[in-house]
Chain A
Amino acid sequence: MIRVDLHFGAGDFRLDAQFETDAKTLGVFGPSGAGKTTLAHCIAGVATPPGGRIEIGGRTLLGAGVDIPIHKRDVGLVFQEARLFPHLNVRRNLLYGAPDTSDLDTIVGLLELESLLQRRIHDLSGGEKQRVAIGRAILSKPQILILDEPLASLDRRLRRQILPFLVRVRDALDIPMLYISHELDEILQLTTDLLVMDQGRIVGLGPYADIIHDDPVLDCLHDRGMTNILRAELISTSADDGVSLIDIGKGTRLSIAPAPEDPGSEIVVGIRPWDIALAAAPVSGVSIQNQATGTISRLTHHERRVLVEIDLGAPVIAEISRKSAAELNLGPGRSIVCLIKSHAIRRLSGAPEPVRIS
Protein backbone atom coordinates (compact mmCIF):
# COMPACT_ATOMS: atom_id res chain seq x y z
CA MET A 1 0.00 0.00 0.00
CA ILE A 2 1.41 3.35 -1.08
CA ARG A 3 -0.19 6.57 0.11
CA VAL A 4 1.20 9.88 -1.10
CA ASP A 5 -0.01 13.40 -0.45
CA LEU A 6 2.45 15.98 -1.71
CA HIS A 7 1.79 19.56 -2.70
CA PHE A 8 4.65 21.95 -3.16
CA GLY A 9 6.32 24.23 -5.63
CA ALA A 10 9.99 24.59 -6.39
CA GLY A 11 10.85 27.35 -8.83
CA ASP A 12 8.74 26.95 -11.96
CA PHE A 13 7.79 23.41 -11.06
CA ARG A 14 4.82 22.41 -8.95
CA LEU A 15 4.00 18.92 -7.74
CA ASP A 16 0.45 18.08 -6.77
CA ALA A 17 0.35 14.37 -6.14
CA GLN A 18 -2.28 12.75 -4.03
CA PHE A 19 -2.94 9.07 -4.53
CA GLU A 20 -3.30 5.74 -2.84
CA THR A 21 -2.69 2.36 -4.41
CA ASP A 22 -2.56 -1.30 -3.55
CA ALA A 23 -1.08 -2.31 -6.88
CA LYS A 24 1.87 -4.65 -6.41
CA THR A 25 3.54 -3.28 -9.51
CA LEU A 26 2.54 0.25 -10.39
CA GLY A 27 3.72 1.84 -13.60
CA VAL A 28 4.25 5.59 -13.41
CA PHE A 29 3.92 7.14 -16.83
CA GLY A 30 4.36 10.71 -17.92
CA PRO A 31 6.29 12.83 -20.39
CA SER A 32 9.59 14.25 -19.19
CA GLY A 33 9.04 17.08 -16.76
CA ALA A 34 5.86 15.45 -15.45
CA GLY A 35 7.31 15.13 -11.96
CA LYS A 36 7.90 11.37 -11.95
CA THR A 37 11.47 11.57 -10.72
CA THR A 38 10.60 14.22 -8.15
CA LEU A 39 7.91 11.88 -6.84
CA ALA A 40 10.40 8.99 -6.65
CA HIS A 41 13.00 11.14 -4.93
CA CYS A 42 10.45 12.37 -2.38
CA ILE A 43 9.45 8.79 -1.54
CA ALA A 44 13.09 7.70 -1.21
CA GLY A 45 13.94 10.77 0.85
CA VAL A 46 16.50 11.98 -1.67
CA ALA A 47 14.44 15.13 -2.23
CA THR A 48 12.99 16.90 0.76
CA PRO A 49 9.54 18.35 0.16
CA PRO A 50 8.57 21.19 2.53
CA GLY A 51 5.68 19.12 3.81
CA GLY A 52 3.18 16.45 2.91
CA ARG A 53 2.65 12.84 3.72
CA ILE A 54 4.14 9.58 2.43
CA GLU A 55 3.23 6.13 3.72
CA ILE A 56 4.49 2.77 2.48
CA GLY A 57 2.87 -0.39 3.77
CA GLY A 58 1.39 1.44 6.74
CA ARG A 59 4.69 3.00 7.76
CA THR A 60 4.89 6.78 7.71
CA LEU A 61 8.03 7.95 5.95
CA LEU A 62 7.04 11.60 5.93
CA GLY A 63 4.40 13.60 7.75
CA ALA A 64 2.95 14.00 11.23
CA GLY A 65 6.28 15.25 12.55
CA VAL A 66 8.13 12.34 10.95
CA ASP A 67 10.83 12.65 8.30
CA ILE A 68 12.78 9.41 8.17
CA PRO A 69 16.32 9.89 6.79
CA ILE A 70 17.18 8.27 3.45
CA HIS A 71 19.13 5.37 4.85
CA LYS A 72 16.35 4.27 7.18
CA ARG A 73 13.49 4.48 4.68
CA ASP A 74 13.95 0.99 3.22
CA VAL A 75 13.15 2.33 -0.22
CA GLY A 76 15.23 0.70 -2.96
CA LEU A 77 15.90 3.15 -5.77
CA VAL A 78 17.33 2.22 -9.15
CA PHE A 79 18.42 5.29 -11.07
CA GLN A 80 18.61 5.99 -14.78
CA GLU A 81 22.40 5.80 -14.54
CA ALA A 82 23.42 2.70 -12.63
CA ARG A 83 25.44 4.66 -10.04
CA LEU A 84 27.58 1.68 -9.13
CA PHE A 85 30.56 2.12 -6.82
CA PRO A 86 33.60 2.23 -9.12
CA HIS A 87 36.09 1.11 -6.48
CA LEU A 88 34.22 -2.09 -5.61
CA ASN A 89 33.80 -5.16 -7.79
CA VAL A 90 30.39 -6.46 -8.81
CA ARG A 91 30.04 -8.78 -5.85
CA ARG A 92 30.85 -6.08 -3.31
CA ASN A 93 28.53 -3.66 -5.08
CA LEU A 94 25.73 -6.20 -4.81
CA LEU A 95 26.37 -6.76 -1.12
CA TYR A 96 26.84 -3.10 -0.17
CA GLY A 97 23.38 -2.68 1.28
CA ALA A 98 22.67 -6.33 2.06
CA PRO A 99 22.26 -7.36 5.70
CA ASP A 100 23.92 -10.70 4.90
CA THR A 101 24.90 -12.88 1.95
CA SER A 102 21.95 -15.29 2.22
CA ASP A 103 20.06 -13.99 -0.83
CA LEU A 104 23.10 -13.31 -2.98
CA ASP A 105 22.98 -16.58 -4.94
CA THR A 106 19.27 -16.28 -5.60
CA ILE A 107 19.45 -12.74 -6.94
CA VAL A 108 22.62 -13.46 -8.89
CA GLY A 109 20.81 -16.39 -10.52
CA LEU A 110 17.68 -14.36 -11.21
CA LEU A 111 19.60 -11.58 -12.96
CA GLU A 112 22.19 -13.94 -14.48
CA LEU A 113 25.16 -12.19 -12.92
CA GLU A 114 27.23 -15.29 -12.13
CA SER A 115 29.98 -14.59 -14.62
CA LEU A 116 30.26 -10.93 -13.61
CA LEU A 117 30.77 -11.27 -9.86
CA GLN A 118 34.51 -10.64 -9.78
CA ARG A 119 34.51 -8.07 -12.58
CA ARG A 120 35.36 -4.42 -12.15
CA ILE A 121 32.56 -1.92 -12.74
CA HIS A 122 34.66 -0.26 -15.39
CA ASP A 123 34.56 -3.35 -17.58
CA LEU A 124 30.76 -3.80 -17.59
CA SER A 125 28.45 -2.87 -20.46
CA GLY A 126 25.56 -0.48 -19.87
CA GLY A 127 23.05 -3.31 -19.66
CA GLU A 128 25.19 -5.30 -17.24
CA LYS A 129 25.65 -2.27 -15.02
CA GLN A 130 21.91 -1.75 -14.82
CA ARG A 131 21.33 -5.41 -13.94
CA VAL A 132 23.88 -5.09 -11.13
CA ALA A 133 22.18 -1.90 -9.92
CA ILE A 134 18.82 -3.68 -9.84
CA GLY A 135 20.33 -6.61 -7.92
CA ARG A 136 22.06 -4.28 -5.51
CA ALA A 137 18.80 -2.49 -4.71
CA ILE A 138 16.90 -5.77 -4.23
CA LEU A 139 19.59 -7.19 -1.94
CA SER A 140 19.26 -4.23 0.41
CA LYS A 141 15.86 -5.75 1.27
CA PRO A 142 13.70 -2.70 0.66
CA GLN A 143 9.99 -2.41 1.49
CA ILE A 144 9.45 -1.08 -2.01
CA LEU A 145 11.54 -1.00 -5.14
CA ILE A 146 11.42 2.15 -7.24
CA LEU A 147 12.85 1.92 -10.74
CA ASP A 148 13.31 5.41 -12.13
CA GLU A 149 13.68 5.11 -15.91
CA PRO A 150 16.19 2.27 -15.50
CA LEU A 151 16.31 1.61 -19.23
CA ALA A 152 16.29 5.19 -20.51
CA SER A 153 20.05 5.36 -21.03
CA LEU A 154 20.14 2.08 -22.96
CA ASP A 155 19.51 1.56 -26.63
CA ARG A 156 16.44 -0.22 -27.90
CA ARG A 157 18.11 -3.57 -28.35
CA LEU A 158 19.43 -3.56 -24.77
CA ARG A 159 16.06 -2.52 -23.41
CA ARG A 160 14.53 -5.57 -25.00
CA GLN A 161 17.15 -7.68 -23.30
CA ILE A 162 16.68 -6.22 -19.84
CA LEU A 163 12.89 -6.04 -19.73
CA PRO A 164 12.52 -9.81 -19.36
CA PHE A 165 14.72 -9.61 -16.26
CA LEU A 166 12.39 -7.02 -14.77
CA VAL A 167 9.45 -9.29 -15.51
CA ARG A 168 11.29 -12.05 -13.68
CA VAL A 169 11.98 -9.82 -10.70
CA ARG A 170 8.32 -8.85 -10.62
CA ASP A 171 7.17 -12.47 -10.65
CA ALA A 172 9.79 -14.01 -8.41
CA LEU A 173 9.96 -11.50 -5.60
CA ASP A 174 7.37 -10.28 -3.20
CA ILE A 175 8.47 -6.63 -3.30
CA PRO A 176 6.04 -3.93 -4.39
CA MET A 177 7.45 -2.10 -7.39
CA LEU A 178 7.07 1.40 -8.76
CA TYR A 179 8.21 1.43 -12.36
CA ILE A 180 8.76 4.90 -13.76
CA SER A 181 9.09 5.47 -17.47
CA HIS A 182 8.11 7.72 -20.34
CA GLU A 183 7.85 4.65 -22.59
CA LEU A 184 4.38 3.21 -22.32
CA ASP A 185 5.46 0.01 -24.10
CA GLU A 186 7.93 -0.73 -21.35
CA ILE A 187 5.50 -0.14 -18.53
CA LEU A 188 2.73 -2.19 -20.07
CA GLN A 189 5.02 -5.17 -20.42
CA LEU A 190 5.45 -5.09 -16.64
CA THR A 191 2.07 -4.02 -15.38
CA THR A 192 -1.31 -2.71 -16.46
CA ASP A 193 -1.75 -0.74 -13.23
CA LEU A 194 -0.89 2.78 -14.18
CA LEU A 195 -0.35 6.15 -12.59
CA VAL A 196 -0.36 8.82 -15.30
CA MET A 197 1.30 12.15 -14.54
CA ASP A 198 1.58 15.35 -16.52
CA GLN A 199 3.02 18.71 -15.48
CA GLY A 200 3.28 17.78 -11.83
CA ARG A 201 -0.28 16.52 -11.56
CA ILE A 202 -1.85 13.08 -11.39
CA VAL A 203 -3.93 12.64 -14.53
CA GLY A 204 -5.17 9.13 -13.87
CA LEU A 205 -4.72 6.07 -11.69
CA GLY A 206 -6.03 2.56 -12.33
CA PRO A 207 -5.92 -0.34 -14.77
CA TYR A 208 -4.80 0.83 -18.22
CA ALA A 209 -7.84 -0.59 -20.00
CA ASP A 210 -10.14 1.42 -17.72
CA ILE A 211 -8.42 4.78 -17.44
CA ILE A 212 -7.58 4.97 -21.14
CA HIS A 213 -11.24 5.87 -21.72
CA ASP A 214 -10.90 9.01 -19.54
CA ASP A 215 -10.32 12.12 -21.62
CA PRO A 216 -7.35 13.51 -19.63
CA VAL A 217 -5.56 10.16 -19.70
CA LEU A 218 -6.34 9.61 -23.36
CA ASP A 219 -5.06 13.11 -24.19
CA CYS A 220 -1.85 12.43 -22.30
CA LEU A 221 -1.24 8.96 -23.71
CA HIS A 222 -2.57 9.18 -27.23
CA ASP A 223 0.48 10.65 -28.91
CA ARG A 224 2.93 9.14 -26.49
CA GLY A 225 2.94 5.51 -27.45
CA MET A 226 -0.61 4.43 -26.66
CA THR A 227 -0.76 0.78 -27.59
CA ASN A 228 -2.24 -2.64 -26.89
CA ILE A 229 0.16 -5.07 -25.25
CA LEU A 230 -0.72 -8.73 -25.67
CA ARG A 231 0.91 -11.85 -24.34
CA ALA A 232 0.67 -14.55 -26.92
CA GLU A 233 1.84 -18.07 -27.58
CA LEU A 234 3.82 -18.67 -30.72
CA ILE A 235 2.08 -21.46 -32.66
CA SER A 236 4.20 -21.83 -35.76
CA THR A 237 6.43 -20.03 -38.20
CA SER A 238 6.27 -20.59 -41.92
CA ALA A 239 9.28 -19.47 -43.88
CA ASP A 240 7.39 -19.90 -47.17
CA ASP A 241 4.54 -17.59 -46.22
CA GLY A 242 6.81 -15.20 -44.32
CA VAL A 243 4.55 -15.14 -41.29
CA SER A 244 4.33 -16.55 -37.78
CA LEU A 245 1.07 -17.57 -36.18
CA ILE A 246 0.31 -16.57 -32.59
CA ASP A 247 -2.53 -17.27 -30.20
CA ILE A 248 -3.56 -14.28 -28.08
CA GLY A 249 -6.09 -16.20 -25.99
CA LYS A 250 -9.28 -18.24 -26.32
CA GLY A 251 -8.16 -19.52 -29.68
CA THR A 252 -7.86 -16.16 -31.41
CA ARG A 253 -5.01 -16.54 -33.86
CA LEU A 254 -3.15 -13.72 -35.55
CA SER A 255 -0.39 -13.82 -38.10
CA ILE A 256 2.64 -11.62 -37.55
CA ALA A 257 6.03 -11.02 -39.15
CA PRO A 258 8.25 -14.09 -38.66
CA ALA A 259 9.38 -14.49 -35.04
CA PRO A 260 12.69 -16.18 -34.21
CA GLU A 261 11.40 -17.85 -31.05
CA ASP A 262 10.56 -21.55 -30.92
CA PRO A 263 6.92 -22.62 -31.32
CA GLY A 264 5.28 -22.88 -27.91
CA SER A 265 7.19 -19.96 -26.38
CA GLU A 266 5.46 -16.91 -25.00
CA ILE A 267 6.02 -13.62 -26.76
CA VAL A 268 4.78 -10.10 -26.19
CA VAL A 269 3.34 -8.07 -29.04
CA GLY A 270 2.10 -4.52 -29.37
CA ILE A 271 -0.68 -3.21 -31.64
CA ARG A 272 -1.46 0.48 -32.01
CA PRO A 273 -5.21 1.15 -31.58
CA TRP A 274 -5.33 3.07 -34.88
CA ASP A 275 -3.82 0.11 -36.73
CA ILE A 276 -6.99 -1.87 -36.10
CA ALA A 277 -9.81 -1.38 -38.59
CA LEU A 278 -13.32 -2.54 -37.82
CA ALA A 279 -15.79 -4.18 -40.15
CA ALA A 280 -19.38 -5.32 -39.60
CA ALA A 281 -18.69 -8.58 -41.43
CA PRO A 282 -15.66 -10.48 -42.76
CA VAL A 283 -14.18 -8.82 -45.80
CA SER A 284 -13.03 -10.73 -48.86
CA GLY A 285 -10.43 -9.73 -51.37
CA VAL A 286 -8.14 -7.71 -49.09
CA SER A 287 -4.45 -8.11 -48.36
CA ILE A 288 -4.95 -7.79 -44.63
CA GLN A 289 -4.09 -11.14 -43.11
CA ASN A 290 -5.89 -10.92 -39.81
CA GLN A 291 -9.65 -10.85 -39.53
CA ALA A 292 -10.55 -11.65 -35.95
CA THR A 293 -14.11 -11.58 -34.72
CA GLY A 294 -14.90 -10.36 -31.22
CA THR A 295 -17.54 -8.70 -29.09
CA ILE A 296 -17.54 -5.01 -28.25
CA SER A 297 -17.29 -4.68 -24.50
CA ARG A 298 -17.00 -0.92 -24.20
CA LEU A 299 -17.32 2.13 -26.36
CA THR A 300 -16.36 5.69 -25.47
CA HIS A 301 -16.76 8.83 -27.54
CA HIS A 302 -14.15 11.54 -27.34
CA GLU A 303 -13.70 14.89 -28.99
CA ARG A 304 -11.84 13.59 -32.02
CA ARG A 305 -12.08 9.85 -31.81
CA VAL A 306 -13.96 6.82 -30.58
CA LEU A 307 -12.30 4.09 -28.52
CA VAL A 308 -13.74 0.62 -28.94
CA GLU A 309 -12.78 -2.17 -26.58
CA ILE A 310 -13.20 -5.56 -28.17
CA ASP A 311 -12.88 -8.93 -26.53
CA LEU A 312 -10.72 -10.97 -28.89
CA GLY A 313 -9.79 -13.52 -26.27
CA ALA A 314 -7.81 -10.71 -24.74
CA PRO A 315 -9.17 -7.16 -24.50
CA VAL A 316 -8.03 -5.03 -27.40
CA ILE A 317 -8.64 -1.33 -27.92
CA ALA A 318 -9.26 0.03 -31.40
CA GLU A 319 -9.45 3.67 -32.30
CA ILE A 320 -11.72 4.85 -35.10
CA SER A 321 -13.16 8.19 -36.16
CA ARG A 322 -16.52 9.39 -34.94
CA LYS A 323 -17.79 9.24 -38.52
CA SER A 324 -16.85 5.56 -38.86
CA ALA A 325 -18.37 4.77 -35.50
CA ALA A 326 -21.64 6.35 -36.55
CA GLU A 327 -21.70 4.58 -39.91
CA LEU A 328 -20.97 1.18 -38.37
CA ASN A 329 -23.64 1.72 -35.74
CA LEU A 330 -21.42 0.27 -33.01
CA GLY A 331 -22.61 -0.61 -29.55
CA PRO A 332 -21.60 -2.78 -26.60
CA GLY A 333 -22.44 -6.44 -27.08
CA ARG A 334 -22.26 -6.28 -30.84
CA SER A 335 -20.07 -8.66 -32.74
CA ILE A 336 -17.40 -7.02 -34.88
CA VAL A 337 -14.52 -8.02 -37.12
CA CYS A 338 -11.08 -6.55 -36.43
CA LEU A 339 -8.79 -6.14 -39.44
CA ILE A 340 -5.11 -6.01 -38.53
CA LYS A 341 -2.17 -6.09 -40.94
CA SER A 342 0.41 -8.59 -39.78
CA HIS A 343 3.15 -5.96 -39.97
CA ALA A 344 1.20 -3.67 -37.66
CA ILE A 345 1.74 -6.23 -34.92
CA ARG A 346 5.12 -5.47 -33.35
CA ARG A 347 6.98 -8.14 -31.49
CA LEU A 348 8.25 -6.46 -28.28
CA SER A 349 10.10 -9.15 -26.41
CA GLY A 350 10.21 -12.80 -25.75
CA ALA A 351 9.10 -13.44 -22.20
CA PRO A 352 11.69 -15.26 -20.08
CA GLU A 353 10.88 -18.49 -18.35
CA PRO A 354 9.44 -17.66 -14.95
CA VAL A 355 11.68 -18.39 -11.97
CA ARG A 356 9.85 -18.94 -8.71
CA ILE A 357 11.56 -18.21 -5.44
CA SER A 358 10.03 -19.57 -2.31
Chain B
Amino acid sequence: MLTPEEWSALFLSMRVALLALLVLIIPGVACAWLLARRSFPGKSLLDAVLHLPLVLPPVVVGYVLLVLFGREGPFGRWLGLDIAFTTAAAALASAVVAFPLFVRALRLSIELVDRRIETAARTLGASPIRVFLTITLPLSLPGLLTGALLAFARALGEFGATITFAGNIEGETRTLPLAIFTNAQIPGGDAAAMRLVVISVALSLAAMIIAEYLARSVRRRIGAGA
Protein backbone atom coordinates (compact mmCIF):
# COMPACT_ATOMS: atom_id res chain seq x y z
CA MET B 1 0.00 0.00 0.00
CA LEU B 2 2.81 2.35 0.90
CA THR B 3 6.11 2.62 -0.92
CA PRO B 4 9.34 2.10 1.05
CA GLU B 5 9.93 5.88 0.93
CA GLU B 6 6.50 6.50 2.43
CA TRP B 7 7.05 3.95 5.19
CA SER B 8 10.36 5.57 5.92
CA ALA B 9 8.73 9.00 6.21
CA LEU B 10 6.12 7.60 8.61
CA PHE B 11 8.62 5.87 10.89
CA LEU B 12 10.99 8.81 10.76
CA SER B 13 8.20 11.16 11.81
CA MET B 14 7.35 9.02 14.82
CA ARG B 15 11.01 8.74 15.76
CA VAL B 16 11.61 12.46 15.44
CA ALA B 17 8.51 13.36 17.44
CA LEU B 18 9.38 10.92 20.25
CA LEU B 19 12.98 12.11 20.29
CA ALA B 20 11.73 15.68 20.49
CA LEU B 21 9.61 14.71 23.51
CA LEU B 22 12.64 13.14 25.18
CA VAL B 23 14.69 16.27 24.54
CA LEU B 24 12.14 18.71 25.93
CA ILE B 25 10.66 16.81 28.86
CA ILE B 26 13.23 17.52 31.57
CA PRO B 27 13.87 21.19 30.76
CA GLY B 28 10.12 21.51 30.17
CA VAL B 29 9.20 20.16 33.61
CA ALA B 30 11.85 22.38 35.21
CA CYS B 31 10.61 25.51 33.42
CA ALA B 32 6.95 24.73 34.17
CA TRP B 33 7.74 24.35 37.87
CA LEU B 34 9.85 27.53 37.95
CA LEU B 35 7.08 29.54 36.31
CA ALA B 36 4.31 28.02 38.42
CA ARG B 37 5.90 28.01 41.84
CA ARG B 38 8.82 30.42 42.03
CA SER B 39 9.21 34.15 41.81
CA PHE B 40 12.58 35.47 40.78
CA PRO B 41 13.93 38.49 38.93
CA GLY B 42 13.61 38.09 35.18
CA LYS B 43 10.66 35.71 35.46
CA SER B 44 8.54 37.57 32.90
CA LEU B 45 11.52 37.72 30.55
CA LEU B 46 12.00 33.95 30.82
CA ASP B 47 8.27 33.49 30.26
CA ALA B 48 8.42 35.66 27.12
CA VAL B 49 11.51 33.92 25.73
CA LEU B 50 9.96 30.50 26.33
CA HIS B 51 6.90 31.55 24.38
CA LEU B 52 8.88 32.95 21.43
CA PRO B 53 8.80 29.75 19.33
CA LEU B 54 5.02 29.88 19.54
CA VAL B 55 4.79 33.27 17.83
CA LEU B 56 7.92 33.31 15.65
CA PRO B 57 7.73 31.97 12.10
CA PRO B 58 9.16 28.41 12.33
CA VAL B 59 11.61 29.32 9.58
CA VAL B 60 13.14 31.90 11.91
CA VAL B 61 13.51 29.25 14.66
CA GLY B 62 15.15 26.94 12.13
CA TYR B 63 17.47 29.64 10.93
CA VAL B 64 18.55 30.57 14.49
CA LEU B 65 19.22 26.89 15.20
CA LEU B 66 21.24 26.66 12.01
CA VAL B 67 23.30 29.67 13.04
CA LEU B 68 23.87 28.21 16.53
CA PHE B 69 24.44 24.56 15.62
CA GLY B 70 25.78 24.86 12.08
CA ARG B 71 29.38 24.11 11.20
CA GLU B 72 30.34 27.74 11.86
CA GLY B 73 28.01 28.24 14.83
CA PRO B 74 29.16 28.43 18.45
CA PHE B 75 27.73 25.03 19.39
CA GLY B 76 28.74 23.48 16.11
CA ARG B 77 32.33 24.69 16.13
CA TRP B 78 33.28 24.81 19.77
CA LEU B 79 31.25 22.02 21.25
CA GLY B 80 31.46 19.73 18.27
CA LEU B 81 27.67 19.63 18.09
CA ASP B 82 27.58 19.94 14.35
CA ILE B 83 24.17 18.36 13.97
CA ALA B 84 22.63 20.42 11.18
CA PHE B 85 20.99 18.31 8.45
CA THR B 86 20.72 15.17 10.60
CA THR B 87 17.83 13.37 12.30
CA ALA B 88 19.00 14.91 15.57
CA ALA B 89 18.54 18.35 14.01
CA ALA B 90 14.99 17.48 12.99
CA ALA B 91 14.27 16.34 16.57
CA LEU B 92 15.83 19.46 18.08
CA ALA B 93 13.91 21.75 15.73
CA SER B 94 10.65 20.00 16.66
CA ALA B 95 11.51 20.12 20.35
CA VAL B 96 12.15 23.85 20.33
CA VAL B 97 8.95 24.61 18.44
CA ALA B 98 6.87 22.29 20.67
CA PHE B 99 8.51 23.42 23.94
CA PRO B 100 6.15 26.31 24.84
CA LEU B 101 3.07 24.13 24.29
CA PHE B 102 4.36 21.54 26.76
CA VAL B 103 5.45 24.09 29.36
CA ARG B 104 2.15 25.98 29.15
CA ALA B 105 0.01 22.90 29.73
CA LEU B 106 2.10 21.57 32.59
CA ARG B 107 2.47 24.96 34.23
CA LEU B 108 -1.29 25.49 34.35
CA SER B 109 -1.70 22.05 35.85
CA ILE B 110 0.95 22.64 38.51
CA GLU B 111 -0.68 25.95 39.42
CA LEU B 112 -3.89 24.03 40.12
CA VAL B 113 -2.23 21.74 42.67
CA ASP B 114 -3.27 22.84 46.16
CA ARG B 115 -0.18 24.30 47.79
CA ARG B 116 -1.61 23.51 51.20
CA ILE B 117 -1.28 19.82 50.35
CA GLU B 118 2.35 20.41 49.45
CA THR B 119 2.84 22.16 52.79
CA ALA B 120 1.26 19.21 54.58
CA ALA B 121 3.77 16.92 52.87
CA ARG B 122 6.63 19.15 54.02
CA THR B 123 5.44 18.94 57.64
CA LEU B 124 5.55 15.16 57.29
CA GLY B 125 9.26 15.35 56.65
CA ALA B 126 9.40 15.46 52.86
CA SER B 127 12.12 17.58 51.24
CA PRO B 128 11.07 20.04 48.51
CA ILE B 129 12.30 17.68 45.78
CA ARG B 130 10.40 14.74 47.30
CA VAL B 131 7.26 16.86 47.54
CA PHE B 132 7.62 17.73 43.86
CA LEU B 133 8.17 14.16 42.74
CA THR B 134 5.57 12.47 44.96
CA ILE B 135 2.86 15.12 45.27
CA THR B 136 3.09 17.95 42.75
CA LEU B 137 4.04 15.95 39.68
CA PRO B 138 1.57 13.07 40.16
CA LEU B 139 -1.21 15.57 40.81
CA SER B 140 -0.35 17.49 37.65
CA LEU B 141 -0.07 14.36 35.54
CA PRO B 142 -3.13 15.28 33.44
CA GLY B 143 -1.33 18.50 32.42
CA LEU B 144 1.86 16.59 31.75
CA LEU B 145 -0.01 14.21 29.45
CA THR B 146 -1.86 17.00 27.68
CA GLY B 147 1.38 18.91 27.26
CA ALA B 148 3.15 15.83 25.94
CA LEU B 149 0.33 15.21 23.45
CA LEU B 150 0.37 18.79 22.22
CA ALA B 151 4.15 18.70 21.89
CA PHE B 152 4.07 15.34 20.10
CA ALA B 153 1.42 16.54 17.66
CA ARG B 154 3.24 19.79 17.06
CA ALA B 155 6.47 17.86 16.45
CA LEU B 156 4.70 15.55 13.99
CA GLY B 157 3.55 18.57 12.01
CA GLU B 158 6.78 20.54 12.17
CA PHE B 159 7.82 21.80 8.76
CA GLY B 160 9.44 25.24 8.58
CA ALA B 161 12.11 24.89 11.25
CA THR B 162 12.91 21.35 10.16
CA ILE B 163 13.43 22.09 6.48
CA THR B 164 15.58 25.13 7.34
CA PHE B 165 17.75 23.49 10.02
CA ALA B 166 17.64 19.81 9.04
CA GLY B 167 16.98 19.94 5.32
CA ASN B 168 14.85 17.48 3.35
CA ILE B 169 16.95 14.32 3.20
CA GLU B 170 15.07 11.11 2.57
CA GLY B 171 15.39 8.61 5.41
CA GLU B 172 17.20 11.18 7.53
CA THR B 173 15.08 14.31 7.91
CA ARG B 174 12.20 13.89 5.46
CA THR B 175 9.31 13.55 7.90
CA LEU B 176 5.65 13.24 6.85
CA PRO B 177 5.04 16.96 6.21
CA LEU B 178 8.24 17.20 4.20
CA ALA B 179 7.36 14.07 2.25
CA ILE B 180 3.91 15.47 1.47
CA PHE B 181 5.48 18.73 0.37
CA THR B 182 8.02 16.89 -1.82
CA ASN B 183 5.37 14.70 -3.42
CA ALA B 184 3.14 17.68 -4.07
CA GLN B 185 6.02 19.29 -5.95
CA ILE B 186 6.59 16.49 -8.43
CA PRO B 187 4.26 15.65 -11.31
CA GLY B 188 2.22 12.49 -10.54
CA GLY B 189 2.90 12.69 -6.85
CA ASP B 190 -0.68 13.58 -5.89
CA ALA B 191 -1.70 10.04 -4.99
CA ALA B 192 1.34 9.56 -2.74
CA ALA B 193 0.76 12.95 -1.12
CA MET B 194 -2.86 12.02 -0.45
CA ARG B 195 -1.87 8.69 1.14
CA LEU B 196 0.53 10.52 3.42
CA VAL B 197 -2.13 13.08 4.31
CA VAL B 198 -4.49 10.28 5.36
CA ILE B 199 -1.74 8.71 7.45
CA SER B 200 -0.99 12.07 9.10
CA VAL B 201 -4.62 12.56 10.04
CA ALA B 202 -4.85 8.99 11.40
CA LEU B 203 -1.66 9.37 13.41
CA SER B 204 -2.73 12.66 14.98
CA LEU B 205 -6.17 11.29 15.80
CA ALA B 206 -4.69 8.19 17.40
CA ALA B 207 -2.29 10.27 19.49
CA MET B 208 -5.14 12.47 20.68
CA ILE B 209 -7.39 9.53 21.60
CA ILE B 210 -4.63 7.76 23.51
CA ALA B 211 -3.67 10.91 25.41
CA GLU B 212 -7.28 11.69 26.26
CA TYR B 213 -7.81 8.14 27.51
CA LEU B 214 -4.66 8.30 29.65
CA ALA B 215 -5.51 11.72 31.04
CA ARG B 216 -8.99 10.57 31.96
CA SER B 217 -7.84 7.46 33.77
CA VAL B 218 -5.20 9.48 35.62
CA ARG B 219 -7.73 12.09 36.64
CA ARG B 220 -10.01 9.38 37.93
CA ARG B 221 -7.17 7.87 39.92
CA ILE B 222 -6.18 11.13 41.60
CA GLY B 223 -9.77 11.75 42.52
CA ALA B 224 -10.39 14.84 40.41
CA GLY B 225 -13.47 13.27 38.81
CA ALA B 226 -13.67 11.99 35.27
Contact = CB atoms under 8 A, between A and B. Distances in A.
B125 A121 contact: no
B125 A85 contact: no
Interface residues of B, number: 21
Contact of A96 (B114, B121, B127, B222): B121
A307 interface: no
Contacts of A46: 119, 122-123
B117 to A, nearest CB: 5
A35 B105 CA distance: 39
Interface residues of A, number: 27
A70 B135 contact: no
Interface in B118-163: 119-128, 134-135, 138-139
Main secondary structure of the interface of A (DSSP, over half): loop
A41 to B, nearest CB: 9
Contact of A87 (B119, B122, B125, B138): B138
Residue from B116, B120, B127, B135 having most chain A Cβ neighbours under 10 A: B120
B10 to A, nearest CB: 36
Interface in B179-226: 221-224
A55 interface: no
Given A85-B135, A86-B222, A87-B139, A140 B117 contact: no
B221 A97 contact: no
A45 B138 CA distance: 25
A153 to B, nearest CB: 13
B138 A136 contact: no
A83 interface: yes
Interface string B91-113: 00000000000000000000000
B223 A79 contact: no
A77 B120 CA distance: 8
Interface in A83-139: 83-87, 96-97, 120-122, 136-137
A304 B139 CA distance: 57
Nearest to A72: B125
Nearest to A81: B116
A120 to B, nearest CB: 6
A97 B124 contact: yes
A137 B124 contact: yes
Given A46-B119, A81-B116, A96-B121, A86 B126 contact: no
A87 B223 contact: yes
A70 B123 contact: yes
B209 to A, nearest CB: 24
A197 interface: no
A121 B117 CA distance: 13
B126 A75 contact: no
A70 B119 contact: yes
Contacts of A72: 125
A87 B223 CA distance: 6
A96 B120 CA distance: 11
Nearest to B222: A87
Contact of A121 (B116, B127, B134, B223): B223
A122 B223 contact: yes
A77 to B, nearest CB: 4
A180 interface: no
A97 B121 CA distance: 8
Nearest to A146: B123
A76 interface: yes
Contacts of A73: 123
Interface in A23-64: 44-46
A186 B138 CA distance: 37
Contacts of B120: 77, 79, 83, 85
A77 B123 contact: yes
Given A81-B116, A85-B117, A120 B223 contact: yes
Contact of A71 (B114, B126, B223): B126
A74 interface: yes
Nearest to A82: B120
Contacts of A137: 123-124
Residue from A76, A83, A84 having most chain B Cβ neighbours under 10 A: A83
A118 B221 CA distance: 13
Contacts of B138: 87
Interface string B13-47: 00000000000000000000000000000000000
Interface of A: 44-46, 69-77, 79, 81, 83-87, 96-97, 120-122, 136-137, 140
17 contacts: A45-B123, A46-B122, A69-B122, A70-B123, A71-B123, A71-B125, A76-B123, A76-B124, A77-B123, A83-B119, A85-B121, A86-B139, A87-B223, A96-B121, A97-B121, A97-B126, A140-B124
Give the 3 A-B residue pairs with the shortest CB-CB distance, closest first: A97-B124, A87-B222, A83-B120
Given A71-B127, A96-B124, 5 more contacts: A46-B122, A70-B122, A85-B121, A86-B139, A136-B124
